[in-house]
A and B are shown apart, each in its own frame.
Chain A
Amino acid sequence: MKRQVISVLMGVSLLAVMVSGCGKKGDGADDGGSEGGKTLKILTHYDAAFAEAAKKYEEETGVKVEIEQTAYENIGDTLEVVLSSQSDEYDLIMADGPNTSAYVSRGYLEPLTEYFTEEEKESFSPELLKQGTVNDEFYAAPLGDSSTVLYYNKNLLKQAGIEVDWSQYTGESRITWEELVDLAKKAVAELDPDGSKGIYGIEIGQVSSVYQMNLLANSMGGKNISDDGKTVKGVIDSDEWKDAIAWYQGLVEEGVFSKGVSGLETYNNFYAGKCVFEWMTADSYTFCLDADLTEEDFGWTYQPCFEGHEDEVATGCGNWALGVSAFSNNKEEAGKFVNYMTYGEGNDIFLPISGMGPNTSARYTDELTEKNPVLEIAKYEAENTAFVRAVTPAFNEYSAALSTMWEDIRNGADIEEAMESTVEQIDSALGEYNES
């Protein structure tokens, strides 16, 4: 009897598998689906912001947008699998700015030219437009922008007896990295002389990533890739890069910058009062508030410049962009939605919820800057100092090799050797794209 019951249970379970397989066709994103209109589908980690904008869009047009949420770190890998198998699962593609070129070279994105007028395209910040344009064709419209800003812990500076008149610094006259390092050394000597409290002088939000680390070399006049985009030889092994790398490695060895702390942990260190200065993105203001800090606890100023390179300040820029999948069955509706989300009303709904900086100066509203006052600096930087990351279809390989190099440098690797090996790796990847 008992055995019969087990057999029946097994049979029922198998049947359930079959039934659940047949009963649900996943999404119905292909065509139709929504009552009286089409349904578009997107995979995103900005699900709340998209949901709000999509709700309004459906009311106005009858086109429904189905939002599938995933973690930030999974978007790239998941889309790679979906798109390389030419699946029509998603109509809208979220691309991290620098990945646009790679997606285009693999045939994943549809040109957006017919969904944007010239005037609309020109309204985007030039650096963002550059990132979304490949071979003179516009493929990915920027949802927003980012920028890099210096934050400081007011409490730690007070405890260390250091007073700085932060109001003296402007976009034209910033604190220098050299001055900042002196302040950091003084503060740490006072707060944690024997190093037992684990307090760092300066932390880098996205440490060892090209988004932030390259800016050190860029701020000394170094470029990210050759002008024709075909090599990094003579570029990332230039004197400007060598100087920037040597400066950084020296300060890691002195303990001013951290070693062994991963990218996002540096943020946690700042929130927990474990570092005096943190160089991170403008939207980090809201994360500081989320971590129960108030403006009594922290302040912010323009990203520092290097002495003698005051006119060459390079700040971070670029953010997620939106494109239309080349395999979508609803390209026209998707293209119109991209316009709505990046140029149209949808972007006004998206920005305050996502925390991103605007994709154009005209969108910096009082509402946004009241919610995040750091955006005032971001606006200045977007107009004056924003430095775009390398535009190349081999960005993934470029980014991986350079991130490894920065981490090796942080761990004390020989500078010449690290550079040589990185140039070799990146040029080999670029070579494959140059040939094809």
Chain B
Amino acid sequence: MKRFDKKRLGKAGIYLLLVIVLIISLFPIIYPLLSSFRTDNELFENMAPFNWHTIVPIEWTWENYIAIFKEYQFGSYLKNTLIMIALIIPGTIVICSLAAFAFSFYDFKMKKQLFALFLLTFMIPGEAIALPLYSLVNSMGLINTYAGLVLPALANGLVLFLFVQFFSDTPKALLESVEIDGGGWWTSFSRIVLPLSKPILITAGLMVFVNQWNDYLWPLLAARAQEVKVVTVAVANFKEQNVIHWGYIYAASTVSALIPIFIFLPFQKYFVQGITSGGVKG
């Protein structure tokens, strides 16, 4: 009996610990979500002493959501962001998978050096190349266009690396059999390699999506016009010289977090599968 109690007590302790960890992990999501339904004054009035209403609104309001969509045209920034991403994801996948196909199945001069060079690209922080990149894109007349946002993102070293890792597991005999049957590289690529790469395609797509959805510096420099401005840059507008519209920031952050969550969840299992098969080798 005593042993049974100890066991139950131990289990309860573990559950309690898990609940605490869960609350701590969810707090950064729950707090902005609930704060998006209250006014700034109510938020600061209830900041101290810490009580239930520090987190849960007293008077629930949609005011912040209405304001960001009506006064600040947040919907058009969401649309711009989705267009940008809809262009970047397929573009990146096409370019990187083709490049990875060449690196994985063909031998050519300077192959190793070139691959190392591509890998370097995702180790250099965006801030370091912002200035020359701006000069280049500006000289091409692409500032404030979707092309200016999209083109620099298409060749992605990390995605290339993932594809190469995944393709290296594909038996070369499959490609040789295509050749014997008279098929060319395009047949091998489109009929054999790509259909086998579903998890890595989804993983790469999700990685690109999350990176681009959260990107701030490049859209700030390359897309300042209303017609191409994206969500991350638009959220900064709620911080004015002498006022921060906290409620607007929370509402906009909630909306812009929900979209990736809804896209990410259905593909979660592929994402994990893709990462493990593309990255870690046993």
Contact = CB atoms under 8 A, between A and B. Distances in A.
Contact of B87 (A16, A26, A273): A16
A45 B142 contact: no
B204 to A, nearest CB: 13
A82 B134 contact: yes
A74 B40 contact: no
A271 B44 contact: yes
Nearest to B147: A21
A13 B87 CA distance: 6
Contact of A78 (B220, B226, B244, B246): B220
B45 A267 contact: no
Nearest to A199: B48
Interface stretch (A65-73, A168-176, A302-310, A377-385): A65-73
Contact of A287 (B42, B140, B243): B243
B136 to A, nearest CB: 9
A274 B236 CA distance: 25
B59 interface: no
Contacts of B40: 268, 271-272, 291
A10 B90 contact: yes
A198 interface: yes
Contacts of B233: 70-71, 74
A264 B190 contact: no
A16 B226 CA distance: 20
A20 interface: yes
A84 B131 contact: yes
Given A3-B190, A271-B44, A264 B226 contact: no
User: Which one of B45, B194, B195 has the highest number of Cβ atoms from chain A below 10 Å of its Cβ?
Assistant: B45
Contact of B134 (A9, A16, A81, A271): A81
B41 A17 contact: no
B138 to A, nearest CB: 5
B214 interface: no
B49 A197 contact: yes
Contacts of A291: 40-41
Given A3-B195, A78-B221, A85-B138, A264 B244 contact: yes
B240 A45 contact: yes
A26 B148 CA distance: 10
Interface residues of B, number: 51
User: Looking at chain A, what size class is its interface with the partner chain?
Assistant: 35 or more
Given A26-B141, A81-B134, A291-B40, A72 B239 contact: yes
B42 to A, nearest CB: 8
B242 A264 contact: yes
A155 interface: no
Contact of A26 (B41, B45, B131, B144): B144
B224 interface: yes
Contact of B242 (A13, A16, A71, A283): A283
B150 interface: yes
Interface in A84-102: 84-85, 87, 89
A112 to B, nearest CB: 24
A22 interface: yes
Contacts of B134: 81-82, 85, 87
Contacts of A205: 242
B93 A10 contact: yes
Given A27-B225, A73-B239, A268 B244 contact: yes
Contacts of A284: 242
B59 to A, nearest CB: 13
Given A26-B145, A45-B240, A196-B49, A74 B220 contact: yes
B243 to A, nearest CB: 5
A365 B87 CA distance: 53
A22 to B, nearest CB: 7
Contacts, number: 147
B148 A21 contact: yes
A14 interface: yes
Nearest to B221: A81
Decide if the interface of chain B is mainly helix, strand, loop or mixed: helix
A78 B224 contact: yes
B25 interface: no
B86 interface: yes
Interface in A263-301: 264-265, 267-269, 271-274, 280-281, 283-284, 287, 290-292
Interface in B31-90: 40-45, 47-49, 86-87, 90
Interface in A1-44: 3, 7, 9-10, 13-14, 16-18, 20-27, 43
A272 B44 contact: yes
A27 B242 contact: no
Given A81-B131, A271-B41, A197 B147 contact: no
A81 B241 CA distance: 21
A84 B135 CA distance: 9
B146 interface: yes
A69 B237 CA distance: 9
B191 interface: yes
Contacts of B279: none
Contacts of B48: 196-198, 274
B120 interface: no
B151 interface: yes
Contacts of A21: 140, 142, 145-148, 150-151
A198 B236 contact: no
B259 interface: no
Given A81-B134, A290-B243, 17 more contacts: A3-B190, A17-B146, A20-B147, A21-B148, A25-B145, A26-B145, A26-B225, A70-B237, A72-B240, A73-B239, A85-B131, A85-B134, A196-B49, A272-B41, A272-B44, A273-B45, A284-B242
By Cβ-Cβ distance, the 10 closest A-B pairs, closest first, are A21-B147, A198-B48, A272-B44, A71-B236, A85-B135, A20-B146, A26-B144, A13-B90, A196-B49, A72-B241
Interface of B: 40-45, 47-49, 86-87, 90-91, 93-94, 130-131, 134-135, 138, 140-148, 150-151, 154, 190-191, 194-195, 220-221, 224-226, 233, 236-237, 239-244, 246
28 contacts: A13-B87, A14-B90, A14-B94, A20-B145, A20-B146, A25-B141, A26-B225, A68-B224, A69-B226, A70-B233, A71-B233, A71-B240, A74-B236, A78-B224, A82-B134, A85-B134, A87-B134, A87-B135, A205-B242, A264-B244, A265-B244, A269-B44, A272-B42, A272-B43, A284-B242, A287-B243, A291-B40, A291-B41
